[in-house]
């Protein structure tokens, strides 16, 4: 130990999100009255401390550091109201002490993590997670030490390390015990693992050594600036606590200059408990932020023993408000059970696990699912942080604000949801072009935000499907939106750049035709022509390898819509036309092949045929209509394809006048001749009847042929055919059925009304019996 | 009364002699040595009416050490559930154990009662025929007619006796009883007294009194427990073993115990046979193969761990009585057939499907068992 250490800089090791730590820290600070509070955190963020401790700042908030150029790397330091670091800063503000961050600047941290990531991949085949919490042994390391931590828990008779920690540290009310325990815990832990770490994870080890050397350097600098060493308190992660006491080995100027560095930016951002709870890794997040906030509040008000009452009655409160009644007596019993569980472990107060188990037993009556929702609300909570206006300023936030102003949307930036109908057409009553297309620009902005996952504006389907010029948006600003916007900074400096980046990423990941055609539409809606062309190249590439008519038809339909209505969005759709042609051609050419399918697949094929037919009508000047009709004819004539599809092809041809009445008649008689198996004949008729019913109903000759066919069938064959015919006619409306009965009446020479009566009337007894017999009939493998 | 039988003043050897004749010994007799060791080594606070401290109870059930004596685990798996059960009884709340058939509810309740009260014999067995008298008290009618209501003519229920003694009564299969019988418990659990108006007196509960009830999830809806009654219990759901290792160790331990107490004479099945049976049971129970790649149809019957244990002991009995004492695939197949296909023709199809779709593909070690099962299921 050298002189500086003997003079005694006070080290206070903490777990980063620890209410107990915050409480003990405050007591310690009050007792010691230091003039400087040094905190583990990026030293270039020291200026942000005044914003963090600003009176209108409400945690949870986070410091976000990101590199300015690609590839973007980020680091995040979240702070909750019960973070010891946060409470330390506030204490410094209230007591006129200086507060500063002392860890490596973010520029070095991010580039070092970059280096470690790159070498890590080649060396150990492991990639560190992005946005790694700077300031703690990393996740990787925590995993390595997993066994040590769970062994500690087991020795203490606890079920997991969190339980052990809460019982032994958070609940430890003895003054000074927390700090002393962590110091010795840290020293022992390092003794245990350091040498192994040096061997197994040399880079991790070097990184930590470097950081600690820098922190010592900063501490020395503070001393040199005139603070008495014993009036300095250093708040750092438990792991580093024992390494900062001895200040002899500091990072030299030359060494510091030699460190890699990337230019970075820092910003504060509002954070949410939800995000805090989903972050993994020791210390970076914690699973139950709201619970710990409750713990902090009960501690701050001097009644920590009330935490169990508060927790369980809050759970019961949520249960009651969602309609599950639980009595106060049950809450009391739950508190008793939780306390008795704690006593079983020799603890002074129930841990979260004890409380949850007690809640499940008493409030859930043994069933977790009853209380799961309430538990999540109480454990995680919905709190979202708030920063003073103008504190969180990333380029993309500026850009968004500028755009909102330009498109006169500022008044919608409120937490009350409002509805905004847009008319994308040109407004001819205004003079400037900007004003004329105001709504279009707004729509483009909203679509870009949607693409970026920013939930500021939500699209509501309009009442009129056909009105492509109308859009309805629900607009609502929320702190979550703020977080989403800040996070989009990582994708680009402006909304447009970020959206383009996002779209490109999606295109690279795109593996199906449907996805690609959807992305073309997104690009069109976002008004991004360049990306639209890129997307169409991707679609084209995928389509070349595809023989899936259903997928191709759907994509072609999507394209056709974009081409048809693209000009309303002022998007040049001309480059898409060749692609549409190509898709359409492929759809046509593969049609006969794809039609050799079973009845189940035929349903989708019929949708595809409808779409292709619609395209051939709408875009007859671009697509090869003749080819379509030719392939349809081909399909219609073939006997080895799915009969329903052949029939359907015939129906389309008939509707479009591509075949004459005589040709249809001869086809009908061919298909419905007695030699053809009933399932084929009737199936074909089913397909034929799926389009243009009035066309069918108006052709008397067709019904004659059907009648003759049915008459010619053997009994067993008839029963088979019945299944298909029944299915074919089941979709006919009562009016159409009446028309058929009239036709048949004419054929059979009976009164049309009589025929209708027979066909639509109630079943007679013997007829019902015949139907019953039919149920027993063996239809084979139909 | 059951355990009183074993507490006579016979000489050690006749006592031992007699014990051998009983098919099944209550937990406090079976694990007498362990309980004594625990009591001797106990340093914790002993709640009023208890035989040992809560921690010692926990050790007795979850296993561990008392001094030098090794305490075998009685309930393998989730120690936390045992903690919650013990903590419940410390707060003198009644405990309700719920679970699928064969999840060791009664086993746990018996061992808890044995450890805490030293007597697991105060049992009310719930059936459709259980009446309120079984829960409260009834009369010796000869004496009642001769002398009128006297304390001597009173026949106390196990619950009433537990109350007077400050002990633990067990109520098995509580959801099988009619609702009015269940509801007789409500006043007992909240007032902690049973009043006997005929004698003009009340029987109050001494400290330590509690009830451990068990109920079956498959019985849900037969006699749904009233909300008022549920409120008076701490309810703990016992799950099926969460992973195959836990289930394997449960099966292994119990099969060995049963085999020795019944002198089955067959060798304890090899680990491989245990693994096969447990694998089949887990796959059929969860409706999915262990590697989660394939869906499996589940049979209508219960496929519990207890079932696997009885299947294996059954197969051992078969092997010992009709074979050469070695457990063969045929013996296992006969047991499996009986366990999976209970009463329904559909189960037979489920079993056939499982054999052909899953077991057949499991590789060479399974070949013999597959053939045997296939023949059996024809």
Res B168 pLDDT > 90: yes
Phi and psi, residue B154, nearest 5°: -75, 125
Quick check: B91 and A336 CB within 8 A? yes
Q: Say yes or no for a CB contact (<8 Å) between B235 and A365.
A: yes
Q: Count other C-beta atoms under 10 Å from residue A6's C-beta.
A: 9
- Write down the number of H helices and E strands in chain B: 17, 11
Interface contacts A/B by beta carbons within 8 Å = 52
Q: How many Å apart are CA A143 and CA A132, to the nearest integer? A: 14
Cβ separation of A340 and B58 shorter than 8 Å? no
Angstrom distance (rounded) from CA A492 to CA A501 = 7
CA distances in angstroms from B322 to A201, B257, B291, B310, listed in the order given = 62, 22, 36, 18
Sign of the CA dihedral running A28, A30, A34, A40: positive
> Cβ B231–A330 below 8 Å, yes or no?
yes
Contact flag B91-A340 (C-beta cutoff 8 Å): yes
Phi, psi of B162 (to 5 degrees): -60, -35
**pLDDT for res B115:** 92
- Start-to-end CA span in chain B (Å): 49
Chain B's closest residue to A334, CA to CA, is: B234
Please enumerate in sequence order all residues whose Cβ is within 8 A of that of B175, keeping only pairs 6 or more positions apart, or say none. Answer: B126, B182, B215, B216, B219, B220, B222, B223, B224, B225
- Beta strand residue intervals within A223-316, DSSP E: 232-237, 264-270
Judged by CB atoms within 8 Å, which residues 41-70 of B form the interface with A? Answer: 54-55, 58
**CA nearest neighbour of A19 among A282, A288, A277, A357:** A288
> Looking at the predicted structure, is the pLDDT value of residue B210 above 80?
yes
Residues of B in contact with A340 (CB under 8 A): 87-88, 90-91
The pair of structure tokens assigned to A327 is: 């009595």
Q: How far is B347 from chain A (nearest CA, A)?
A: 25
Check if B234 contacts A (Cβ < 8 Å).
yes
Residues B79, B62: Cα–Cα separation, whole Å: 6
Rounded distance, CA A1 to CA A398, Å? 51
Angle at A656 between CA A651 and CA A659, to 5 degrees: 70
The interface pTM score, or ipTM, of the predicted complex is 0.77
- Under the banding of pLDDT at 50, 70 and 90, the label for residue A692 is confident
Tell me the shortest Cα–Cα distance from A330 to chain B, in angstroms. 7
Q: Any residues with CB less than 8 A from the CB of A272 and at least 6 apart, and which?
A: A60, A382, A383, A384, A385, A479, A480, A483
Question: In terms of Cα–Cα distance, which of A15, A63, A80 is closest to A290?
Answer: A80
- What count of other Cβ atoms lies within 10 Å of the Cβ of residue A323? 6
Of the listed ranges A125-134, A143-152, B277-286, B304-313, the least confidently predicted one is A125-134
Q: To the nearest whole angstrom, how far is the Cα of A162 from the nearest Cα of chain B?
A: 15
Place of tokens 């799950």: B239
Would an 8 Å CB–CB cutoff place B87 in contact with chain A?
yes
Alpha carbons A7 and A91: distance in angstroms, whole number: 23
pLDDT of residue A221: 86
Comparison of pLDDT for A734 and A554, the residue scoring more: A554
Helix (H) or strand (E) run with residue B237 in it: strand B233-238
| Cross-chain Cβ contact A365/B236 below 8 Å | no
Helix (H) or strand (E) holding A466: none
Q: Which run of H or E residues covers position A367?
A: none
Closest listed residue to residue A457, CA positions, set A439, A467, A442: A442
SS3 assignment for A556-616: HHHHHHHHHHHHHHCCCCHHHHHHHHHHHHHHHHHHHHHCCCCHHHHHHHHHHHHHHHHHH
Other Cβ atoms closer than 10 A to A291: 26
Burial (CB count <10 Å: 0-12, 13-18, 19+), residue A517: buried
**Residue closest to A635 by CA, chosen among A673, A587, A677:** A587
Numbered residues of chain A with Cβ closer than 8 Å to any chain B Cβ: 159, 327, 329-330, 333, 336-337, 340-341, 343-344, 357-358, 361-362, 365-367
Residues B57, B42: Cα–Cα separation, whole Å: 10
Per-residue confidence at B158, pLDDT binned at 50, 70, 90? very high
Q: Is B237 on the interface with A (CB under 8 A)?
A: yes
Closest Cβ–Cβ partner in A327, A329, A341 for B83: A341
d(CA A344, CA A165): 16
User: Which position has the higher pLDDT, A199 or B97?
Assistant: B97
What is the 8-class DSSP label of residue A58?
Answer: B
Please check whether residue B15 is in contact with residue B6, taking contact to mean a CB–CB distance below 8 angstroms.
yes
Distances (CA, A) of A183 to A179, A193, A742, B262, B356: 6, 15, 97, 58, 62
Closest CA to B216 of B94, B85, B97: B97
Q: Are the C-beta atoms of A16 and A284 separated by less than 8 Å? A: yes
pLDDT higher at B162 or A719: B162
Domains and CATH numbers, chain A: 10-116+154-271 (no CATH), 289-380 (no CATH), 395-491 (1.10.10)
Q: Which of B81, B91, B175, B233 to mutate to test the interface with A (most CBs of A within 10 A)?
A: B91
Closest to B3 measured CA to CA, from B104, B114, B136, B112:
B114
Instruction: Determine whether the interchain pair A366/B236 forms a contact, defined as Cβ–Cβ distance below 8 Å.
Output: yes
Please tell me whether residue A657 adopts helix, strand or coil conformation. coil
- Residue A145 pLDDT: 52
Q: How far is CA B126 from CA B117, B121, B224, in A?
A: 21, 15, 14
Hey, of B228, B234, B239, B242, which one would you mutate to test binding to chain A, going by the most A CBs within 10 A of its CB? Answer: B234
Would you say A36 and A73 are in contact if contact means Cβ atoms under 8 Å apart? no
Query: Cβ(B157)–Cβ(B165) under 8 Å?
Result: no
Q: Do B98 and A366 touch (CB under 8 A)?
A: yes
Q: Is it the case that residue A317 has pLDDT exceeding 80?
A: yes
**Mean pLDDT taken over chain B:** 83
Provide the shortest C-alpha distance from residue A156 to chain B (in Å). 14
Nearest to A382 by CA among A474, A295, A480: A480
Q: Do A357 and B58 touch (CB under 8 A)?
A: no
> Which residue among A329, A358, A361 sits closest to B231, beta carbon to beta carbon?
A329
Q: What is the pLDDT of residue B140?
A: 92
Residue B127: partners with Cβ closer than 8 Å, 6 or more residues away: B173, B176, B177
* Cβ(A443)–Cβ(A501) below 8 Å: no
> How many other CB atoms are there within 10 angstroms of residue A34's CB atom?
24
pLDDT, average across residues A202-211: 81
Provide the pLDDT for residue A466: 52
pLDDT tens column, A275-309: 777 654 434 457 788 888 999 889 888 888 888 89
Instruction: Using alpha carbons only, give the angle A364, A369, A373 rounded to the nearest 5 degrees.
Output: 95
- DSSP E strands, A116-228: none
Chain A CB contacts of B235 below 8 Å? 361-362, 365-367
Which residues contact residue A688 at a Cβ distance below 8 angstroms, ignoring those fewer than 6 apart? A647, A648, A650, A651, A668, A696
Whether the pLDDT of residue A655 is over 70: the answer is yes
Rounded to whole angstroms, the Cα distance separating A689 from A606 reads 12
8 Å CB contact between B28 and B122: no
- The dihedral built from the CA positions of residue A7, A13, A16 and A17, taken in this order, carries a sign that is negative
Mean pLDDT confidence for B126-141: 89
- Tokens 């999915």 belong to B288
Cα-flanking dihedrals φ and ψ of residue A384, to 5°? -130, 140
Chain B CA closest to residue A367: B237
In chain B, the residue whose alpha carbon lies closest to the alpha carbon of A336 is B91
Average per-residue pLDDT in chain A? 79
Tokens of B91: 């707060």
- Which residues from chain A sit within 8 angstroms of residue B88, using beta carbons? 337, 340, 361
pLDDT tens for residues A342-399? 888 888 888 888 898 899 888 888 888 888 888 888 888 877 787 777 776 677 887 8
State yes or no: pLDDT of A771 exceeds 70. no
Cis peptide before A71 (omega within 30 of 0): yes
Confidence band for B139, pLDDT divided at 50, 70 and 90 = very high
pLDDT in tens, A233-280: 888 888 888 777 777 777 777 777 777 788 888 888 888 787 777 654
Using a CB-CB cut-off of 8 Å, the residues of chain A touching B80 are 159, 357
Residues 6+ apart with CB under 8 A from B148: none
Least confident of A573-587, A728-742, B104-118, B273-287: A728-742
């Amino acid at each position: 130990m050298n002189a500086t250490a003997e003079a005694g800089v006070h080290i206070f090791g903490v777990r980063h999100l620890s209410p107990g730590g915050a409480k003990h820290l405050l007591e310690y600070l009050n007792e010691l009255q230091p003039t400087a509070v040094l905190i583990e955190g990026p030293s270039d963020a020291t200026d942000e401390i005044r914003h963090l401790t600003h009176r209108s700042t409400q945690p949870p908030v986070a410091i976000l550091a990101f590199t300015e150029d690609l590839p973007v790397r980020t680091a995040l330091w979240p702070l909750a109201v019960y973070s010891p670091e946060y409470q330390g800063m506030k204490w410094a503000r209230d007591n006129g002490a200086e507060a500063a961050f002392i860890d490596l600047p973010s520029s070095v941290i991010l580039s070092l993590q970059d280096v470690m990531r790159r070498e890590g991949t080649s060396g150990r085949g492991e990639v560190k997670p992005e946005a790694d919490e700077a300031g703690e042994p990393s996740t990787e390391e925590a995993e390595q030490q997993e066994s040590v931590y769970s062994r500690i828990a087991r020795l203490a008779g606890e079920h997991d390390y969190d339980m052990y920690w809460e019982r032994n540290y958070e609940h430890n009310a003895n003054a000074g015990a927390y700090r002393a325990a962590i110091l010795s815990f840290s020293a022992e832990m390092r003794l245990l693992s350091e040498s192994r770490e040096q061997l197994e994870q040399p880079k991790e080890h070097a990184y930590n050594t470097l950081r600690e050397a820098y922190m010592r350097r900063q501490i020395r600098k503070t001393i040199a600036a005139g603070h008495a060493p014993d009036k300095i308190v250093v708040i750092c992660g438990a792991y580093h606590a024992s390494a900062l006491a001895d200040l002899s080995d500091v990072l030299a100027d030359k060494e510091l200059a030699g460190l890699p560095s990337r230019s970075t930016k820092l910003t504060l951002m509002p954070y949410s408990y939800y995000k805090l709870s989903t972050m993994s890794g020791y210390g970076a997040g914690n699973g139950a932020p709201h619970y710990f906030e409750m713990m902090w509040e009960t501690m701050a008000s001097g009644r920590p023993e009330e935490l169990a009452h508060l927790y369980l009655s809050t759970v019961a409160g949520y249960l009651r408000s969602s309609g599950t009644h639980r009595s106060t007596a049950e809450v009391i019993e739950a508190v008793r059970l939780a306390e008795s569980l704690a006593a079983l472990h020799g603890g002074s107060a129930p841990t979260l696990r004890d409380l949850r188990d007690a809640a499940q037993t008493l409030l859930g009556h043994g069933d977790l699912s009853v209380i799961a929702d309430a538990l999540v609300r109480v454990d995680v909570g919905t709190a979202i942080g708030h920063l003073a206006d103008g504190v969180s300023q990333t380029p993309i936030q500026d850009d968004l604000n500028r755009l909102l102003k330009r498109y006169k949307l500022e008044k919608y930036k409120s937490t009350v949801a409002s509805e905004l109908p847009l008319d994308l057409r040109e407004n001819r009553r205004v003079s400037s072009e900007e004003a004329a297309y105001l709504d279009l620009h707004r729509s483009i902005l909203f679509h870009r935000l949607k693409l970026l996952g920013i939930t500021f504006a939500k699209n509501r389907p309009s009442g009129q499907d056909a009105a492509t010029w109308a859009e309805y948006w629900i607009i609502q600003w929320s702190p979550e939106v703020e977080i989403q916007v800040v996070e989009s900074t990582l994708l680009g400096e402006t909304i447009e750049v970020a959206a383009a980046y996002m779209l490109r990423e999606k295109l690279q990941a795109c593996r199906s035709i449907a996805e690609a055609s959807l992305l073309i539409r997104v690009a069109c809606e976002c008004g991004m022509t360049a990306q639209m062309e890129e997307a169409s190249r991707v679609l084209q590439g995928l389509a070349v390898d595809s023989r899936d008519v259903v997928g191709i038809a759907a994509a072609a339909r999507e394209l056709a819509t974009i081409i048809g209505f693209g000009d309303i969005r002022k998007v040049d759709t001309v480059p898409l036309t060749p692609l549409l042609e190509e898709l359409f051609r492929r759809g046509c050419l593969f049609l006969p092949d794809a039609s050799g399918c079973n009845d189940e697949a035929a349903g989708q094929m019929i949708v595809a045929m409808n779409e292709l037919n619609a395209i051939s009508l709408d875009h007859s000047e671009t697509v090869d209509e003749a080819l379509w009709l030719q392939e349809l004819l081909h399909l219609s004539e073939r006997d080895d394809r799915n009969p329903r599809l052949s029939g359907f092809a015939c129906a389309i041809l008939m509707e479009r006048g591509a075949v004459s009445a005589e040709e249809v008649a001869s086809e009908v008689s061919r298909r419905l001749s007695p030699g053809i198996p009933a399932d084929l004949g009737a199936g074909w008729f089913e397909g034929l009847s799926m389009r243009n019913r009035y066309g069918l109903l108006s052709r008397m000759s067709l019904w004659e042929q059907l009648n003759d066919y049915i008459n010619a069938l053997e009994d067993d064959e008839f029963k088979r055919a019945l299944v298909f015919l029944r299915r074919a006619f089941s979709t006919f409306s009562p009016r159409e059925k009446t028309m058929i009965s009239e036709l048949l009446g004419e054929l059979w020479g009976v009164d049309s009304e009589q025929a209708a009566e027979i066909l639509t009337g109630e079943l007679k007894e013997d007829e019902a019996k015949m139907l019953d017999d039919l149920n027993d009939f063996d239809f084979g493998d139909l | 009364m059951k355990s009183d039988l074993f507490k006579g003043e016979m000489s050690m050897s006749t006592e031992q002699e007699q014990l051998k004749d009983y098919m099944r010994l209550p937990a406090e007799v079976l694990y007498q040595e362990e309980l004594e060791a625990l009591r001797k080594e106990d340093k914790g606070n002993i709640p009023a009416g208890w035989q040992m401290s809560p921690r010692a109870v926990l050790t007795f059930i979850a296993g561990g050490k008392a001094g030098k004596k090794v305490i075998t685990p009685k309930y393998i798996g989730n120690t936390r559930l045992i903690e919650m059960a013990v903590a419940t009884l410390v707060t003198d709340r009644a405990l309700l154990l719920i679970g699928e058939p064969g999840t060791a509810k009664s086993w746990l309740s018996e061992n808890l009662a044995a450890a805490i009260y030293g007597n697991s014999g105060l049992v009310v067995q719930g059936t459709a025929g259980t009446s309120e008298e079984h829960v409260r008290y009834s009369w010796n009618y000869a004496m009642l007619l001769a002398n009128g209501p006297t304390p001597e003519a009173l026949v106390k229920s196990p619950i009433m006796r537990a109350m007077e003694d400050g002990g633990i009564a067990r109520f098995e299969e509580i959801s099988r009883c009619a609702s009015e019988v269940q509801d007789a418990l409500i006043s007992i659990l909240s007032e902690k007294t049973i009043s006997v108006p005929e004698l003009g007196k009340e029987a109050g509960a001494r400290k330590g009194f509690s009830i451990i009830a068990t109920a079956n999830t498959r019985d849900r809806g037969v006699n749904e427990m009233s909300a008022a009654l549920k409120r008076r219990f701490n309810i703990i759901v016992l799950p099926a073993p969460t992973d195959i290792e836990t289930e394997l160790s449960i099966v292994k331990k119990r099969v060995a115990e049963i085999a020795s107490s019944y002198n089955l004479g067959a060798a304890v099945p090899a680990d491989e046979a245990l693994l096969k049976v447990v694998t089949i049971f887990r796959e059929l129970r969860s409706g999915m193969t262990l590697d989660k790649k394939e869906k499996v149809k589940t049979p209508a019957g219960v496929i519990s761990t207890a079932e696997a244990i009885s299947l294996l002991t059954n197969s051992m009995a078969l092997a010992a009585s009709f074979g050469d004492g070695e457990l063969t695939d045929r013996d296992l197949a006969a047991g499996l057939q009986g366990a999976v296909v209970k009463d329904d023709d559909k189960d037979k199809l489920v079993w056939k499907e499982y054999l052909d779709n899953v077991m057949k593909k499991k590789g060479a070690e399974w070949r013999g068992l597959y053939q045997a099962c296939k023949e059996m299921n024809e």
